[in-house]
């Protein structure tokens, strides 16, 4: 099935090569542009089905994700599991994620956390903290693509639709920078060379 995940990214022109600044601050010659895949409902349905099928017997009562792609992924995964889907938003002034808009997690409620591309796990950790603050019982974490340099341990089962061991460099040790290859920032801000 993992080959199908790569094919979905390739068909949607979402697997990019070059010199990219990742949200984590790392630099990489490969960029998984989740938005290009998420624009196709059939791909979202297939990816979220993989996640839902993996956690179907875990007793999930609510699926939570970080804004923005996590909204779509949590909703579709929740739809397939027949449960609620909610999202945690960034509180910029406090530097945390929190559930707003009347979203609740009851103490002991079984929560599945979903996200798009896993590199350092920053947004996943923020959602874990938001769930714990409300007393939720995390049953697992799922991502479309795990591109972390080394396996991350969140203390909960982690499932990825695809594991891609992509190279990522700290900015001060990036060989692409040394070669003068222009650095491109993609994501929610307009893609541009830096």
Q: What angle do CA 109, 125, 36 make, to 5 degrees?
A: 100
Q: What are 113's strand-pairing partners?
A: 64, 141
Tens digits of residue pLDDT in 69-89: 889 999 999 999 999 999 999
* 3-class DSSP state of 41: helix
Spatial CB neighbours of 113, under 8 Å, sequence gap ≥ 6? 63, 64, 65, 124, 127, 128, 131, 138, 140, 141, 142, 156
Enumerate residues 6+ apart whose C-beta is below 8 A from 74: 63, 64, 65, 85, 86, 87, 114
Q: What is the CATH number of the domain that holds 100?
A: 3.40.50.2020
| pLDDT tens per residue, range 84-112 | 999 999 998 888 999 999 999 999 999 99
Q: Which two tokens stand for residue 98?
A: 């929190």
What is the rounded distance in angstroms from the CA atom of residue 34 to the CA atom of residue 130?
23
Distance CA 190, CA 165 (A): 26
Q: List 137's β-bridge partners, or say none.
A: 110
Predicted TM-score (pTM) of the model is: 0.89
- 19 pLDDT exceeds 70? yes
Q: Alpha helix locations (H) across 34-170?
A: 34-38, 41-55, 69-81, 122-133
Q: Using pLDDT thresholds of 50, 70 and 90, give the confidence band for residue 3.
A: low
User: Which residue segment(s) compose the domain that 184 sits in?
Assistant: 2-193
Give me the pLDDT at residue 149, please.
78
- Could you give the 3-state DSSP secondary structure of residue 167? coil
Q: Mean pLDDT for the chain?
A: 92
Rounded to a whole number, what is the distance in angstroms from the first to the last CA of the chain? 36
In the chain, how many domains are there? 1
Question: What is the model's pLDDT at position 193?
Answer: 55
Helix or strand run (H / E) with residue 160: strand 158-163
């Amino acid at each position: 099935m993992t080959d199908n995940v790569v094919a979905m990214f390739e068909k949607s022109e979402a697997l990019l090569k070059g010199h990219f600044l990742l949200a984590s601050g790392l630099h990489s010659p490969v960029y998984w542009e989740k938005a290009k895949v998420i624009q196709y409902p059939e791909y979202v349905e297939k990816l979220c089905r993989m996640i839902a099928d993996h956690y179907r017997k875990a007793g999930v009562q609510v699926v939570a994700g970080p804004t923005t792609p996590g909204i779509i992924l949590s909703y579709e995964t929740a739809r397939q599991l027949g449960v609620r889907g909610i999202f945690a938003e960034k509180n910029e002034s406090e530097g945390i994620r929190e559930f707003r808009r009347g979203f609740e997690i009851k103490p002991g409620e079984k929560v599945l956390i979903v996200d798009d591309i896993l590199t350092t796990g920053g947004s996943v950790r923020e959602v874990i903290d938001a769930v714990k603050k409300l007393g939720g019982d995390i049953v697992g974490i799922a991502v479309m693509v795990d591109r972390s340099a080394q396996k991350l341990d969140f203390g909960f089962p982690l499932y990825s639709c695809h594991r891609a061991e992509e190279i990522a460099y700290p900015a001060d040790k990036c060989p692409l920078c040394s070669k003068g290859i222009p650095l491109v920032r993609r994501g929610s801000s307009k893609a541009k060379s830096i």
